[in-house]
Every structure is written in structure tokens, then in C-alpha cells.
Amino acid sequence: TTNALASGAGLMLLAMICQELGASLAVKIFPQVGALGAVALRLVLSTVVLAIVVRPHLRGITPRAWRTAIVYGLALAAMNSSFYLALERLHLGVTVTIEVLGPMVLSIVLARRWLNVLWVALAVGGVALLSQGPVALDPVGVAFALVAATMWALYILSAQRAGREFPGMDGLAIAMAVGSLAILPFAAVSTGATLIQPNILLLG
């Protein structure tokens, strides 16, 4: 219905605003904790909030649902890690432009509409124009952004499956915990005790 489309578009716009605001704040703490430290802060603190708000039920979860949650969580961790690693080497606008190719290509595969093909072609053209700018794009940064794009597509598919296999937001809460556990060892090695400094936690 029209209302459902409007509400879906509004929620998507709000999600993008939150993501970009979060990324712009995360860049400010890169000098202290690096990209992986910023990801760890984002995932761990979000996991704590979701655990308090959602209170996911862990009993009666099937092995299939656990596998979905694990893939979901790993995709979440990999998407954020590669996105932030790209931000260390590219501007935010360039990184987001490349990353959004993931869900756009996925929309073509799932919807098979020519209009979607046009949107992706325009996005690819935009990336090509960006690469011809006055400053050459860091190839490692571009590679990380492309990984983030791929992981975003996997994240979307995993989220849809988790929505079918878990009640409410339980799947997301469990996946966030999985993602946090996956990234914490890497963040601890790269940043050490800096992660738990009060000012860093507050920014996180």
C-alpha cells in the first residue's frame, strides 16, 4: 500500500542518516582507536542496548536459526569493519557511494526490473566519475569498500532470513552479540586498553 511504501522509505532515510552520522563521528576517534576499535565500540555498545531493550530468548532456538544468526552477525561485523577500514583511506562520500552498490546489485538480482538496472548503472557511472577526480582513489580503500558492499548484500539477505526464524528483534540482538565477539579480539590487539577509556566510550 501507499502508506507502507511511505513508511518504508521514511525508515530507510532515517537508517541512512543514522549510519552516516555514526560514521562521521567514528572518523573522529580513528586516531585513538583505529577503524577496528571504532567498529568494536559500535557493535559492543549496540549489543548492550539491544540486550536490555529486546531481552532475546535463547531457549528453543533451532540449529538452523543459530546458523542464520551466526552468518548474520559475521556479515554485520565484516560489513562494518571493511566500511571503516575503507574510511581510513577514502572520503566518506566515496566510500558510501561504492558500498551502496551491494544492495543495488542485490535489488537487480531479486527484482529483475530494468529500472533497477538503470539505477545501478548510474551508481557505477558515479563511482567511475569519482575515480577520475583530482585525487586518485586508494586501491586498498576501494577494495575494502567493495567488500563492504558485498557484506551489505549478505547482511540484507541474512536479516530477512532472521526475521522469518526469530520472533521480533531477537535475531538482530543475537547477531549483534555474535558480531561483537568476532571483532573484539582484533580490536583488542590493535588498540588495547584505549577502548575502555571513559572519553572514548562516551564518543562510542
User: Cβ–Cβ contacts within 10 Å for residue 70, how many?
Assistant: 16
Mean pLDDT over each residue of the chain, to the nearest integer: 85
Closest by Cα among 85, 100, 77 to 178: 77
C-alpha–C-alpha distance, residues 176 and 108, integer Å? 28
Residue 192 Rama label (left phi>0; alpha psi -120 to 50; beta): left
Give the tens place of pLDDT for each residue, 74-125. Answer: 999 999 999 989 988 888 778 887 888 888 778 777 776 777 777 777 777 7
User: Cβ–Cβ contacts within 10 Å for residue 89, how many?
Assistant: 18
Could you tell me the pLDDT band of residue 130, with boundaries at 50, 70 and 90? Answer: low
Residue 179 has pLDDT above 60, yes or no: yes
**Does the global pTM surpass 0.85?**
no
pLDDT of amino acid 158: 94
pLDDT of amino acid 48: 93
The larger pLDDT score, comparing residue 181 to residue 191, is at: 181
Q: Are 99 and 16 in contact (CB under 8 A)?
A: no
